[in-house]
């Protein structure tokens, strides 16, 4: 059985996980599931990158030791992957003892080979990127990523002779056209290698400046540069250089790496040259994707537009969210995230096309054949066209998935889905039924079911739970085995005549577009469907302005602390808050109190929050609750409480 090994970047633990991290991890999960589906022994690695200046700074800001701090955020990543049902095999942390041993083994090996030397270096160091920049790389003297002025640092350090491998790397990329893909990133790396530009890489930091790192095996006064340490995770996770047991390494290396464009250079240049210097085979592919933007702007904490993947997946359904991410981003290019785009995609592709097909066919089958799979008869040209269209789409889908062109793969799969809906209309089973043409009716329904089954199986990597559900609705249990995909592509019949199938199907509920501003009469139910509030009953109590105790009990009032406060980017009267309500992640709350308070004076204040209001969009930002205030003679105060965060007021 062939093997397959996909990796995500190991994420920095200086920030909480967001949509961008979730995207790469979901893609890796979909790739692992895809390779399992086509019969490979697939493995997935993710984890956290925990050393370096950045982390020390973030920990100091929260008055925590680096270890205490990294444990907390690393656990948040792991918890998110659990909620998003990511099927990874291993979660590596660069503070793991085994990883440290590997990094030291790799350093020692390259040192022994003579490719690491000691020298003096002066350069422009960006603390955000944790790397030195050359004069040429700076833009107007600023770091191109962070737009901040780097610090000029001069010190003695260890260097990896990266320049020695420049020509080899260039030739390797030229000889292997999809080593780095899509092509634009291959070209970017080739451009970085034009001329004699590659400098040696500074791979140490003196302990006098930074202690939070892995000690160099050949000089205890230095720790390893965080990128050298981090990149090694891809092999240390397989036991290379730490366990003596190389079975995982031998089985799974070389890897299929997944990263976004921000870390192209370390993965496209540092890593292959490090591997080459250590006489190890380079990775199979570097798959580079673009950035998720929000309203064409980079997500950033200060803009308050950071998308919470947990909320989106809970609200819209995990599979629908996964489908959207893989379908709407053309792998390699940037894509724009918005709830409107997500809802449009769900309603058109999932509810209208796929969901509708399942629901129509299964309910007709319940009506015409008492929910049992009817027999396939003689096929007409129209029937053949359906089989051919699904088979053709399936072949393309598999090829495109291998080429990490997920959006095209899915787009292609939707052609037969739409064709099947048209086939239902043109074959008009209801007329066949009325006219008593039972054999033809049976054949039409069976043609549909067989092909719906194929689509359901193919969708497993993207929508695993829905795929299993669709197969179950067609009377099939999903069991992965090495011949599954070959059978699917070569056999026409997979279902059993007479088997009982589901009589109905409601796979993907429709969503209404979020209303802007004050939708006071709108409530959201569990599936996120919006419904009108019933008109209030006017009884005696309501006339007197009294409410029932049961009505009061509906309010979920909670104590919280404001962690961050800032002006709403698009509205003078609104402020944006992150409020800690004792939950896993702080809540974003938008409140119209900008005329009464300065954001800076609110940070750290205790507040009372209505915690069970439906999410509501205010000038583009979603508010997950309401901060209570008290007003007298135009003076607004916050409701204070000394109770702990999350305490319920009753
Ligand atoms: O760079 N859109 O960690 P990191 C899409 N520790 N993907 C995004 C994104 C966005 N807006 N924002 C982040 C590091 N990502 C290093 C990696 S690997 C040996 C060391 C994803 O926490 C994307 O995968 O900054 C990107 O490459 C990664 O998060 C950067 O994560």
pLDDT tens digits, residue range 409-461? Answer: 999 999 999 999 999 999 999 999 999 999 999 999 999 999 999 999 999 99
Band of pLDDT at residue 537, cut at 50, 70 and 90 = very low
Band of pLDDT at residue 304, cut at 50, 70 and 90 = confident
- Ligand 1 centroid vs 259 CA: distance in angstroms? 7
CB 226 within 8 A of CB 213: yes
- Ligand 1 centroid vs 324 CA: distance in angstroms? 20
21 an active-site residue? yes
CB 609 within 8 A of CB 627: yes
- Ligand 1 centroid vs 249 CA: distance in angstroms? 25
- Ligand 1 centroid vs 446 CA: distance in angstroms? 46
Q: What is the pLDDT of residues 53-98, one digit of tens each?
A: 888 988 999 999 999 999 999 999 999 999 999 999 999 999 999 9
Q: Which of 146, 367, 529, 598 is catalytic?
A: 146
Identify the three-state secondary structure at position 296.
coil
Interatomic CA distance for residues 265 and 285, integer angstroms: 14
Measured from the CA of 262, which atom of ligand 1 is nearest? 27
129 an active-site residue? yes
Interatomic CA distance for residues 242 and 232, integer angstroms: 12
- Ligand 1 centroid vs 184 CA: distance in angstroms? 19
647 or 443, higher pLDDT: 443
CB 385 within 8 A of CB 457: no
Structure pTM?
Answer: 0.79
pLDDT of 535 > 70? The answer is no
Instruction: Tell me what the pLDDT averaged over the chain comes to.
Output: 91
Band of pLDDT at residue 541, cut at 50, 70 and 90 = low
Cβ of 228 below 6 Å from ligand 1: no
Q: What is the pLDDT of residues 137-195, one digit of tens each?
A: 899 999 988 889 999 988 899 999 999 999 999 999 999 999 999 999 999 999 999 98
Q: Which of 32, 51, 100, 129 is catalytic?
A: 129
pLDDT of 576 > 60? The answer is yes
CB 8 within 8 A of CB 258: yes
Q: What percent of the chain has pLDDT over 70?
A: 95
Q: Which of 251, 298, 531, 648 is catalytic?
A: 298
Mean pLDDT of 518-526: 35
The full length of the chain comes to 650
CB 558 within 8 A of CB 583: no
Identify the weakest region by mean pLDDT among 448-457, 486-495, 631-640. 631-640
Residue position matching structure tokens 């990511």: 86
Mean pLDDT of 500-513: 91
Interatomic CA distance for residues 52 and 113, integer angstroms: 26
Residue position matching structure tokens 């592919």: 285
- Dihedral, 439, 441, 444, 445 alpha carbons, nearest 10: -110
Q: Which of 57, 61, 147, 301 is catalytic?
A: 301
pLDDT of 527 > 70? The answer is no
Protein residue with its CA nearest to atom 4 in ligand 1: 11
Task: Specify the pLDDT at position 308.
Answer: 95
**In a mutational test of the pocket of ligand 1, which residue from 258, 260, 337 has the highest number of ligand atoms less than 8 Å from its CB?**
260
Interatomic CA distance for residues 148 and 154, integer angstroms: 19
Identify the weakest region by mean pLDDT among 182-196, 341-355, 449-463, 569-583. 569-583
Q: What is the pLDDT of residues 199-234, one digit of tens each?
A: 999 999 999 988 999 999 999 999 999 999 999 999
Task: Specify the pLDDT at position 408.
Answer: 98
- Please count the other Cβ atoms lying within 10 Å of the Cβ belonging to residue 82: 10
Measured from the CA of 49, which atom of ligand 1 is nearest? 6
Q: Which of 32, 99, 124, 143 is catalytic?
A: 143
- Dihedral, 508, 27, 298, 262 alpha carbons, nearest 10: -170
- Ligand 1 centroid vs 332 CA: distance in angstroms? 14
149 an active-site residue? no
Q: What is the pLDDT of residues 256-280, one digit of tens each?
A: 999 999 999 999 999 999 999 999 9
């Amino acid at each position: 059985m062939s093997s397959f090994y996909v990796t995500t970047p190991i994420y920095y633990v200086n920030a909480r996980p967001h949509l961008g991290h979730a995207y790469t991890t979901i893609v890796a999960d979909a790739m692992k599931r895809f390779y399992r589906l086509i019969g490979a022994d697939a493995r997935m690695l993710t984890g956290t990158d925990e050393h370096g200046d950045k982390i020390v700074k973030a920990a100091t800001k929260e008055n925590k030791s680096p270890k205490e701090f990294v444990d907390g955020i690393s656990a948040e990543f792991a918890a998110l992957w659990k909620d998003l049902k990511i099927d990874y095999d291993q979660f590596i942390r660069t503070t793991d003892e085994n990883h440290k041993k590997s990094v030291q083994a790799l350093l020692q090996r390259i040192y022994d080979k003579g490719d690491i030397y000691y020298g003096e270096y002066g350069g422009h160091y960006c603390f955000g990127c944790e790397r030195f920049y050359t004069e040429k790389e700076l833009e107007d003297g600023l770091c191109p990523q962070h737009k901040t002025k780097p610090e000029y640092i001069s010190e003695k350090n260890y260097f990896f002779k990266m320049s020695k491998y420049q020509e080899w790397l260039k030739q390797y990329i030229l000889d292997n056209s999809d080593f780095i893909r899509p092509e634009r990133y291959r070209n970017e790396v080739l451009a970085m290698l034009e001329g004699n530009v590659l400098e040696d890489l500074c791979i140490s930091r003196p302990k006098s400046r930074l202690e939070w790192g892995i000690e160099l095996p050949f000089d205890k006064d230095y720790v390893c540069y965080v990128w050298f340490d981090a990149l090694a995770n891809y092999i240390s996770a397989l036991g290379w250089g730490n366990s003596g047991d190389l079975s995982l390494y031998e089985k799974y290396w070389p890897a299929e790496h997944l990263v976004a464009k921000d870390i192209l250079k370390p993965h496209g240049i540092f890593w292959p040259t490090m591997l080459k210097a250590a006489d190890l085979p380079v990775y199979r592919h570097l798959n580079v994707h673009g950035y998720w933007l929000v309203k064409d702007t980079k997500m950033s904490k200060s803009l308050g537009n950071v998308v919470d993947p947990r909320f989106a997946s809970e609200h819209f359904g995990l599979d629908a969210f996964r489908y959207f991410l893989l379908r709407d981003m053309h792998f390699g290019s940037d894509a724009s995230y918005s709830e409107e785009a997500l809802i449009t995609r769900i309603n058109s592709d999932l509810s209208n096309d796929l969901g509708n097909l399942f629901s129509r066919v299964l309910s007709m089958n319940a009506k015409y054949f008492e929910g049992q799979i009817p027999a396939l008869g003689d096929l007409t040209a129209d029937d053949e066209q359906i089989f051919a269209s699904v088979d053709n789409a399936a072949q393309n889908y598999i090829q495109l998935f291998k080429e990490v062109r997920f959006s095209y793969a899915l787009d292609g799969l939707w052609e037969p889905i739409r064709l099947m809906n048209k086939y239902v209309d043109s074959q008009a089973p209801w007329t066949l039924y009325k006219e008593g043409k039972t054999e033809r009716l049976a054949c039409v329904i069976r043609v549909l079911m067989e092909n719906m089954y194929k689509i359901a199986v193919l969708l497993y990597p993207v929508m695993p739970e829905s795929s299993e559900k669709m197969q179950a609705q067609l009377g099939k249990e999903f069991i992965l085995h090495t011949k599954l995909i070959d059978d699917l592509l070569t056999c026409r019949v997979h279902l059993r005549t007479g088997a009982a199938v589901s009589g109905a199907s409601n796979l993907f509920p429709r969503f209404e577009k979020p209303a802007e501003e004050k939708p006071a009469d709108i409530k959201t139910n569990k599936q996120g469907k919006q419904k009108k509030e019933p008109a209030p009953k006017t009884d005696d109590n309501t006339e007197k302005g009294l409410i029932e105790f049961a009505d009061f009990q509906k309010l979920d009032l909670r104590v919280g602390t404001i962690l961050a406060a800032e002006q709403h980017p698009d509205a003078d009267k609104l402020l944006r808050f992150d409020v800690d309500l004792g939950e896993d992640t702080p809540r974003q709350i938008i409140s119209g109190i900008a005329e009464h308070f300065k954001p800076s004076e609110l940070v750290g204040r205790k507040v009372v929050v209505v915690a069970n209001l439906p999410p509501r969009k205010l000038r583009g930002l979603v508010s997950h609750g309401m901060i209570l205030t008290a007003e007298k003679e135009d003076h607004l105060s916050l409701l204070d409480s000394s109770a702990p965060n999350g305490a319920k007021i009753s």
